[in-house]
Structure 1
Amino acid sequence: MQMETFHWKKNQILAEDYITGKGNAKALFPYHFGNEEDWQARVTWLDGAQDAPHVHRERLVEVLEAYNRRVGNTEAAFAHIAALGDKQALAVVGGQQAGLFGGQLMILYKAITLIQSAREWSAKLERPVVPIFWIAGEDHDFDEVNHVHVLSSAQQIEKLKVDHPTGGRTSVSRLPLTSDAWEEALNKLDQSLMDTEFKASLLDKMRSASEGEATLSEAFARWMAMLFGEYGLVLIDSDDPALRALESSMFEAIIRQNAALAGALMQSKAEVSQAGYGIQAEVHEQAANLFVFAEGARLLLQREGDQFSDKKHIVNYSKDELLDKAITTPEQLSNNVMTRPLMQEFLFPVLATVLGPGEIAYWALTKQAFEHFHMRMPIVLPRMEFTLIEGTIKKQMDKYELALTDVIERFDEKKQAWLDAQDTLQLNERFEDVKASFLNAYGPLVESLSVINPGVKKLGDTNLAKIVEQIEYLHHKASEASHTQFDAAIRQLDRVRLTIFPLAKPQERVYNGCAYLNRYGNVWLHTLIQTPIPVDGLHRIYYL
């Protein structure tokens, strides 16, 4: 396996500073993933955290077993679930919304990070550490997860999508897709994939994942079990009613102490701001930081005294009424981004949580909320990052002397420089010389016309501008004609950019994994899982 490391600076300054250990970010987190002493400190805290609220492990094991049985997970995963019944067992947890056909490549990399780090720390600590993938099925942003991007043979980035089955603003886990909708999506996927020895098997697995008018969350979970189950990855859907039942007492605590929770979040918000960073998530004093499922929708609640309502006042609950929901029908409640970390801590003995850059930035807002509930934020572990570069792309990069930074930071400049270097007629220099010679000769003449009268001078200025415009027009047309000689090279150059930096984003944030699984099978994926790779915040270039 050929791999290189690369420091791809994060757009989130707070996450960049946390990962690199620079700036003021480190103080916003109780631990740092790069310090082995902090890992030991986290274990010690978990072993002694008697005051922290937590679920009964036996009930948790039952819920995990039932869910993973439904989505077809493997015996390796069930062995990990059983291990969670032991108080010695710890967990590494990370999650994402359920994406069509598995979503973007970065979701696969998050799962790999979970598996790698759990395996590493299980060996170091000599106790079970279980990788758990938290599927955010409660999320209601259907448009965020209903599509994937693929690079077509015509070198166009195309979107494959499924339509919303109802139009309602409810959780993705509550929206089954018809078999016709799935078949249409699978046919589009089929058409987007080249014919290979792996294609039939890949499509069969996708059909299996979506059978029974599955929701996006169900299909996603089945697919993740197929890809990662043999490595013991445990799956859970945050909108599973059985899981909600376990969360009842934590929902009750969040409602009873809602104003204090908001105050703790506001304190962390001030700390993040004072450290010099922007605020990644909406935090305000009246936020309840909970959703309720009502009137066919998932509604975000805000607090007004002891009353809780959504912004449009579609629903309104007293504190006692909301507490009754927490106790009797917890499946009607749902976390927002600020309370999900707390619920994760309540459910699992979290040694570390795997986060992307944006997640790291908003988790910084939760430090005081953890403390308020006698919890402590776990170790924040940056998700592994990869760019997959195929052999043909590598050859083309070598041919045109393109480094990864060239493609990301100065592609148009490098492309134009290569085209200019092919200009044996030296069109740019000769046209510039002609224009300069003309201006030197004609400019003074036009200026002298002002002694005749202003009208003749104005006519001369217009005439000069038109001639310069015609010279530039011919220059442009000559350059275009010259470039047609290099159409094949231009296509190769553009293919490099579209592969590595599509839509001006890292490859892993745009493309789906199916195209690579179709071309290369799953060997490359297994190699990434099985090869020990440091979780160090660096970006890795993986040459296929």
Structure 2
Amino acid sequence: MKKHLIDLEKTNQFSTFFLDYLKGKAELRPFYGHLPKIESFEEAIKKKDFTAEYRKTLCQSLERQYQGVELFEEEKSQLSHLKSENTFTVTTGHQLNLFTGPLYFIYKIVSTINLAARLKKEYPAYNFVPMYWMASEDHDFAEINYFKLDGKKYAWQTNQTGAVGDFNLDASFQEFLKSLSFAPELFKKAYSSSKTLKEAVRKYVHELFGEKGLLIIDGHDVELKAQFKEVMKEDVFNHGPYKEATLKTESLESLGYGGQIFPREINFFYLDSGIRERIEQKGEDFYVLNTNLKFSKTELNELIEQHPERFSPNVVLRPLYQEMILPNLAYLGGPAEVVYWLQLKGVFKLFKTPFPILLPRNFALLLNAEVQRKIQKLEWRIEDLFSDLDKWRRDFVCKHAQEDIEMTVEKKAIESLFDARGESAALLDKSLKEAFESAKVRSFKILDQMGRKVRKAEERRQKVMLDRSSAIEEFIKPGGSPQERVVNMMQFYLEDPELIEKLFEHFDPLDFRMVVLEN
């Protein structure tokens, strides 16, 4: 693979807010704990206070969650390391998209594994375990029930509700699986041998990344949730997180930055079989929306004590939950994720929890041989892929046109004629000058109309080149969105089973530039 690096600003894909964070803008410093650089980890290690009790609970939960999975030696080693106080984690998280969903799911994990390896070199006295936070409690099935491959959408339809991780891979899914004959065997094996969606995701992520030492954690765990009880009570009964997150959001907005998330007074869902619904307070009672469930304050307090697993944090509190149950130092995410964490610094302070180092995952664009040939025929540089391609097409047609599309000569002649005649006619009647001016404008409009017809004729004549540019654009920005946010990894993995290994070679989690790879 040939590698090119493009400054993120030149790609025109990222918000000013995100780019300002990466630049370390002074006005954003109150919203995070550490600068996103390797030197920050020394301070983060010193500040991370993770008790032996929490570490024991974490290790027991992970061992329980991995039951039935045949571990690679590196996974066994990582589980052993986690028992030691000199071991820390670096984490990424993602929804349970079918067959990994968009490419950036893979990019997140590769970046996280590479970061752990880099940290081991920089700080050899410590161990660093890369973690994938499996968002099994998410309930937005419409966001994850499909993947896109070669321009086609493949979707699983089911009427199941609640946390998607608990969805049964029933007969409807098995029929869906049969229609995907092209899928690699590791996916077929994971899905066909699993009862639930989260079980299948654990299996295929394990197969793809277990040998690299990645561990997978499911926050939907009764023992881990038990450590979050005090946060549950503070949020539900006192609304402290809402107040803190709102203050930070308002502070960011006063600086001209828009928030990504919207805190609520209660930031927990009620989670049970087939249910993940918001909890709202009305008067003295608490209601679970879209159900008949209702609790008094006493009843809800008892429920938190006895069944903390029934309380699922939303986006405001999930990051805090992660940082409380892991000896974590850094979170790697996409640009929107990094930005919304900046709204949460006050929430972490409220619960006296260290704020992690926020790092962007690697961003990438993959180019296959066919699209590379098209790029070469257009004599484009790699940088040109991130330019305004509509403008390029307009300029290209004008540059290679047989006729002057802009009608420049004709417009100058008409302008000269009407201006001269208007001046002379005004000597007879001043109103005639305005009439000639109006006639000139009408003439220009006619020429513009004729110019558009000439342009269309030129576009037909230059169709091969223009179609080539459109094909490139659809490849790198399918449907108008960056490739990594749309295309499934199988589009490249099926042709090159070494794809992921090559990503490990070319990704640097501390190099914040777009990686363009020619295969």
Q: How far off its partner does 1:475 sit?
A: 5.0
Partner SS for 2:228: helix
Aligned match of 1:174: 166
Q: Residues 17 and 244 from structure 1, CA distance in 2 versus in 1: closer, same or farther, beyond 3 angstroms?
A: farther
Q: Residues 279 and 442 from structure 1, CA distance in 2 versus in 1: closer, same or farther, beyond 3 angstroms?
A: closer
Query: Is contact 1:353–1:379 with CA below 8 Å preserved after alignment?
Result: yes
Give the TM-score, by structure 2 length: 0.86
Q: Residues 306 and 231 from structure 1, CA distance in 2 versus in 1: closer, same or farther, beyond 3 angstroms?
A: farther
User: Which residue among 388, 402, 424 is the counterpart of 1:410?
Assistant: 388
Question: Are residues 1:255 and 2:236 paired?
Answer: no
Aligned match of 2:46: 44
Superposed CA offset, 1:62-107 (max 9, x none): 3212323445553322321221111211100110111111111111
Q: How far off its partner does 1:355 sit?
A: 2.0
Q: How far off its partner does 1:186 sit?
A: 5.5
Q: Gaps (5+ residues) in structure 1?
A: 153-157, 191-198, 452-457
User: Which residue among 344, 355, 361 is the counterpart of 2:333?
Assistant: 355
Q: Gaps (5+ residues) in structure 2?
A: 429-434
Q: Residues 237 and 524 from structure 1, CA distance in 2 versus in 1: closer, same or farther, beyond 3 angstroms?
A: same
Partner SS for 2:266: strand
Partner SS for 1:92: strand
Identify which range, 316-325 or 433-442, moves more after superposition: 433-442
Query: Is contact 1:400–1:418 with CA below 8 Å preserved after alignment?
Result: no
Rounded Cα–Cα distance in structure 1 between residues aligned with 2:24 and 2:190: 41
Aligned match of 1:385: 363
Rounded Cα–Cα distance in structure 2 between residues aligned with 1:497 and 1:112: 26
Aligned match of 2:137: 138
Give the TM-score, by structure 1 length: 0.82
Aligned match of 2:84: 86
Partner SS for 1:65: helix
Question: Are residues 1:265 and 2:245 paired?
Answer: yes
Q: How far off its partner does 1:40 sit?
A: 1.0
Query: Is contact 1:65–1:78 with CA below 8 Å preserved after alignment?
Result: no
Query: Is contact 1:115–1:231 with CA below 8 Å preserved after alignment?
Result: yes
Query: Is contact 1:173–1:217 with CA below 8 Å preserved after alignment?
Result: yes
Amino acid at match of 1:503: G
User: Which residue among 471, 474, 477 is the counterpart of 1:495?
Assistant: 471
Q: How far off its partner does 1:23 sit?
A: 4.5
CA-atom RMSD in angstroms: 3.4
Rounded Cα–Cα distance in structure 2 between residues aligned with 1:294 and 1:66: 20
Rounded Cα–Cα distance in structure 2 between residues aligned with 1:416 and 1:369: 50
Rounded Cα–Cα distance in structure 1 between residues aligned with 2:21 and 2:450: 53
Rounded Cα–Cα distance in structure 2 between residues aligned with 1:26 and 1:322: 38
Identity %: 23
Superposed CA offset, 1:274-326 (max 9, x none): 44422221124xx1211102584311123457643345684332333223222
Rounded Cα–Cα distance in structure 2 between residues aligned with 1:275 and 1:74: 49
Rounded Cα–Cα distance in structure 1 between residues aligned with 2:447 and 2:255: 56
Rounded Cα–Cα distance in structure 1 between residues aligned with 2:456 and 2:70: 57
Superposed CA offset, 1:412-449 (max 9, x none): 111222233332x22525x554577678779999999x
Partner SS for 1:428: coil
Query: Is contact 1:96–1:134 with CA below 8 Å preserved after alignment?
Result: yes
User: Which residue among 111, 114, 134 is the counterpart of 2:112?
Assistant: 114
Q: How far off its partner does 1:112 sit?
A: 0.7
Q: Residues 71 and 365 from structure 1, CA distance in 2 versus in 1: closer, same or farther, beyond 3 angstroms?
A: farther
Partner SS for 2:508: coil
Q: How far off its partner does 1:402 sit?
A: 3.0
1:128-277 matches, cutoff 5 A: 128-152=127-151, 158-163=152-157, 165-166=158-159, 168=161, 170-184=162-176, 187=179, 189-190=180-181, 202-212=183-193, 214-239=195-220, 243-256=221-234, 258=236, 259=238, 260-277=240-257
